[in-house]
A and B are shown apart, each in its own frame.
Chain A
């Protein structure tokens, strides 16, 4: 892997890349109401790799969806940089996702009809912008996909697909990259490669990455781990090791 020479430039550079203020999310109504998030406030530092952990049903994915503008809180506010995204209309929110956020999902990250290269520049094409060819080339090289750009997703392994997704997430130079269980469907080696790449993006490029995971090893790549249980933030850990995370998770009963 080569070093990346052109660091991304951000339009709005703040110490806190994204934050949630008293965010609650309820599903259903009446007796059937389920509380996914209960009055959660959290700030995510720019240029940091943050992992969100917690047992199933803890609300970790819900929190990520709120922060990423994929879902709206029942109450409370969500900010991306200085923008209150919880008050945005669908169109503005969509454009914000397109221009300022990168995504990596657990699976089905790519359009089957497009080649790897086309998938990588998809958000920019949707925006009608010309991608920065040098930047894209360096990203592609970093994730190690140079020989596979002309392949369609069905011709790529799961790990390669996720690396394409990671390249896509970074290609438009977003303020923040959200990853929802990105290694959930990968074997451990492919998973390690992907996490290593995300780590590198943070360290070398100053990229902000927020990742939801239930895997302690994955969390150990992060600078900071936030633990959720029953819709509350219960604890956090800085510079975690896999063992420490695992122990804490056992303590949480996951």
Chain B
């Protein structure tokens, strides 16, 4: 049996290549994701390990709380006096305080040096002791040791031609200052920390500019020779005051890498979802292929049964073929995975998430998991068709059978519609009923499965609809339509693979488009602003409050209303909050309070959204417990409830003044500008722009400009998702090639007959091409329909979160569908060629 199986596989080389590719691509994505996340993890761990390599113990305040998301723990600063206590401890060779915070470098022309993909711009203190710096090393120049000196990361220096000795401005939360560049810094083999720009100051300067005078973030300790890390940490822990703790350097390094791993896990899961989609689509092609193999071989199988093969042997032979195919394809996939990992890394670089490089990490786990998953997916997909093969009766060996149609059953309709209904219900309940997003995912999968099951039922009407214009193409168009309709199950499962990709792409487009429309609406209708002052990089954290002072001084500017945001715990839940200027928010941000008044928003008070007021049963005068990392717990009185979300969408809103008290001095996220009556908008904008020349951390935009910037950002994300899904679409196209190739093979005699009675090669090619177009359009159109539905549901469900504008990007979706048709034509090139080459004689002569 094994030799028959092997020979059968080798005999159909094209089929072997296509089916291998359809599984291998999915496995490659999976393996690539695993390799990439392992590589990133290793790289970051090396990096953090090195950075804190020279630190034996760290003294810090105990965490007030650990955020459940994001990079771990926020702590309040430690009193600088503790340093003196620490230095007295036996076994301490040297101890220094360290601080870090926001610092934005500028280039020689005074323009901000922006990072890609939201990497932070940081300022650090540089310890005097070299060992305490760990792997942070001066590549050139020397350590900054006076208030006017700075050392910067080598990447920023090289990319912007900043020479040692030149003077650059550095922007902080507080006033901007000029510094002389005295050194460049590297990290082991790296010239920057994962895309971050870094500025190093002496400790006192850093305390003043990026921290708080009289405090440190942590106190880093190096032990005397012969004193172990834990021993040192224990001794330190005994003397440090209440609310502070001492831990080993190793612990800190581990905490850091854990936090990074947690963040990378999200990236890994994201990629894993796309790998899963690719594998799911690949499974369709396997299913399809095996179904066709079984049909084609039914005479062969019947013959084997007639001469005494048992059902079990038939099943085993087919499953063996699936195992061989799956394992072979997975092996190819693992190999390709290395290339995929490199490609994904490049994609991340392009998107702006640059990663420290290290050699690609291929763990045995990656190979084992990829091989198992790939093989399992193949075998599972082949299982149903293989079982069908066992039902072939021996007598069928004697029958002359033509590949014909099949009947669609009521049972299929029932099952399909039930699963679809369950899926839709699941999605809706998660969107509107507040059930988790996991339920949404499951619902989505169920809805897709439901559609896939019921798709054969609508293949006929859909083909007829799509092929209506093709009638103009004469007989080849007509025959193409009939061929697409004759085997609805095959056509639909081929089209379904494409449908899945299109559904996801289109739903994302609809969602993105609604997001853009809502944003436009917010800017257009939900503020009274004429101009917008924002961070100079779209993903920047914000700008210094001094920017607002500069803008307010511009003639023609009447009011500037600022807002900020942050993460804290309200009512026991980690959430983002907004901060506003109570005097101007009502007007410029159109914050309409249904109860209470914004003017009451001051010390220890909060305004909550109506949704939260309802869900948390809050009324005016109630207290909400808040907890800030820097300052701990505060009881806030509810002084207002606001109804309409617009510019401000967070559920908890405090005043900017209070934010600075609770969370420490903060950057401003945005400033809304209202111009004086009678002032010319363009003139004021130019004047603000001129005033911002000295403030490279901010820029001014008008309504259109702001909208365009937001759209650009959303488009970037959409592009990323689309590129990721492209792989699934590519696999689906391989599936179309495969189905067409097998159909052509199956219809050799028909093709011969057509050629004999006068169909030209060109007409035969056109026939196959049109069939391919019909199949792709079935997939594309059902995908587009489903995608629009899901996108709308998703947008509608997030109405409370501010997605109020619903928009379907018609031309874009039409373009996707048109591209699918073109892809259909391309997929048909090979099969059409072989169909045209059919030997008339062999086809029509009975042997």
Q: A-facing mask of B464-508, CB < 8 A → 1, else 0? A: 000000000011001100110110000000000000000000000
Q: Is the CB of B757 within 8 A of A168?
A: yes
Of A94, A95, A128, which is within 8 A of B475 by CB? Answer: A128
Q: Is the CB of B758 within 8 A of A98?
A: yes
Q: A-facing mask of B747-764, CB < 8 A → 1, else 0? A: 001100111111111110
- CA–CA, A172 and B640, complex, Å: 87
Q: Is the CB of A112 within 8 A of B404?
A: yes
- Chain A residue numbers with a CB within 8 Å of B750 are 108, 111-112
- CA–CA, A95 and B761, complex, Å: 11
- Chain A residue numbers with a CB within 8 Å of B757 are 97-98, 103, 122-123, 126, 168
Q: Is the CB of B404 within 8 A of A154?
A: yes
CB-nearest residue of chain B to A62: B841
Of B483, B485, B758, which is within 8 A of A95 by CB? Answer: B758
- CA–CA, A133 and B400, complex, Å: 34
Q: Is the CB of B761 within 8 A of A126?
A: no
Asked if A2 is at the interface of the complex by the 8 Å CB criterion, the answer is no
Asked if A106 is at the interface of the complex by the 8 Å CB criterion, the answer is yes
Q: Is the CB of B759 within 8 A of A113?
A: no
Are A70 and B761 also in contact (CB < 8 A) when A94-B755, A111-B754, A126-B475 are?
no
Of B758, B763, B846, which is within 8 A of A105 by CB? Answer: B846
- CA–CA, A153 and B750, complex, Å: 13
- Chain B residue numbers with a CB within 8 Å of A114 are 482
Are A112 and B402 also in contact (CB < 8 A) when A70-B756, A125-B475, A126-B757 are?
yes
- Chain B residue numbers with a CB within 8 Å of A61 are 845
Interface centre among B404, B405, B478, B757 (most CB of A within 10 A): B757
How distant is A78 from chain B, measured CB to nearest CB, in Å? 15
Of A94, A111, A181, A185, which is within 8 A of B753 by CB? Answer: A111
Asked if B844 is at the interface of the complex by the 8 Å CB criterion, the answer is yes
Q: Is the CB of B758 within 8 A of A94?
A: yes
Asked if B128 is at the interface of the complex by the 8 Å CB criterion, the answer is no
CB-nearest residue of chain B to A153: B402
CB-nearest residue of chain B to A100: B758
Using a CB-CB cutoff of 8 Å, which residues 827-847 of chain B contact chain A?
A: 840-841, 844-846
Q: Is the CB of A70 within 8 A of B475?
A: no
How distant is B753 from chain A, measured CB to nearest CB, in Å? 7
How distant is B226 from chain A, measured CB to nearest CB, in Å? 89
How distant is A39 from chain B, measured CB to nearest CB, in Å? 21
How distant is B708 from chain A, measured CB to nearest CB, in Å? 52
CB-nearest residue of chain B to A158: B400
- Chain A residue numbers with a CB within 8 Å of B761 are 90-91, 94
Q: Is the CB of B755 within 8 A of A108?
A: no
Of A70, A95, A184, which is within 8 A of B846 by CB? Answer: A184
- Chain A residue numbers with a CB within 8 Å of B483 are 113
Of A97, A106, A107, A110, which is within 8 A of B758 by CB? Answer: A97
- CA–CA, A154 and B756, complex, Å: 21
CB-nearest residue of chain A to B764: A94
Q: A-facing mask of B151-183, CB < 8 A → 1, else 0? A: 000000000000000000000000000000000
- CA–CA, A110 and B760, complex, Å: 18
- CA–CA, A99 and B474, complex, Å: 17
How distant is B365 from chain A, measured CB to nearest CB, in Å? 51
Number of interface residues of A (CB under 8 A): 35
- CA–CA, A248 and B393, complex, Å: 45
Are A109 and B753 also in contact (CB < 8 A) when A65-B841, A128-B475 are?
yes
Asked if A127 is at the interface of the complex by the 8 Å CB criterion, the answer is yes
- Chain A residue numbers with a CB within 8 Å of B844 are 70, 103, 105, 108, 180
- Chain A residue numbers with a CB within 8 Å of B756 are 70, 97, 103, 105
- Chain B residue numbers with a CB within 8 Å of A168 are 757
How distant is B442 from chain A, measured CB to nearest CB, in Å? 40
Q: Is the CB of B478 within 8 A of A125?
A: yes
Of B400, B474, B486, B749, which is within 8 A of A113 by CB? Answer: B486
Are A106 and B846 also in contact (CB < 8 A) when A113-B486, A125-B478 are?
yes
Are A95 and B845 also in contact (CB < 8 A) when A113-B486, A154-B402 are?
no
- CA–CA, A71 and B841, complex, Å: 7
Q: Is the CB of A95 within 8 A of B760?
A: yes
Q: Is the CB of A126 within 8 A of B841?
A: no
Q: B-facing mask of A150-168, CB < 8 A → 1, else 0? A: 0001100000000000001
Interface centre among A90, A105, A109, A154 (most CB of B within 10 A): A105
How distant is A158 from chain B, measured CB to nearest CB, in Å? 10
- CA–CA, A153 and B402, complex, Å: 10
Q: A-facing mask of B429-448, CB < 8 A → 1, else 0? A: 00000000000000000000
- Chain A residue numbers with a CB within 8 Å of B755 are 94
Q: Is the CB of A70 within 8 A of B758?
A: no
CB-nearest residue of chain B to A94: B760
CB-nearest residue of chain B to A105: B844
- CA–CA, A77 and B750, complex, Å: 29
- Chain A residue numbers with a CB within 8 Å of B479 are 111, 113
- Chain A residue numbers with a CB within 8 Å of B760 are 91, 94-95
Q: B-facing mask of A123-140, CB < 8 A → 1, else 0? A: 101111000000000000
CB-nearest residue of chain A to B843: A108
- CA–CA, A112 and B403, complex, Å: 8
- CA–CA, A105 and B44, complex, Å: 73
- CA–CA, A106 and B749, complex, Å: 13
- CA–CA, A128 and B760, complex, Å: 12
How distant is B132 from chain A, measured CB to nearest CB, in Å? 81
- CA–CA, A174 and B750, complex, Å: 21
How distant is A146 from chain B, measured CB to nearest CB, in Å? 23
How distant is A103 from chain B, measured CB to nearest CB, in Å? 6
- CA–CA, A192 and B355, complex, Å: 83
- 15 residue pairs of the A-B complex, CB under 8 angstroms, read A94-B755, A94-B758, A94-B761, A98-B758, A103-B844, A105-B756, A105-B846, A108-B846, A109-B753, A110-B753, A111-B754, A113-B405, A125-B474, A126-B757, A127-B758
5 tightest A-B CB contacts, nearest first: A98-B758, A113-B482, A125-B475, A126-B475, A123-B757
Besides the known contacts A71-B840, A108-B844, 20 further A-B residue pairs in the complex with CB atoms under 8 A apart: A61-B845, A65-B841, A65-B845, A70-B756, A70-B841, A71-B841, A91-B761, A94-B759, A99-B758, A105-B753, A105-B844, A106-B845, A107-B400, A111-B479, A111-B750, A113-B483, A114-B482, A125-B478, A128-B475, A153-B402
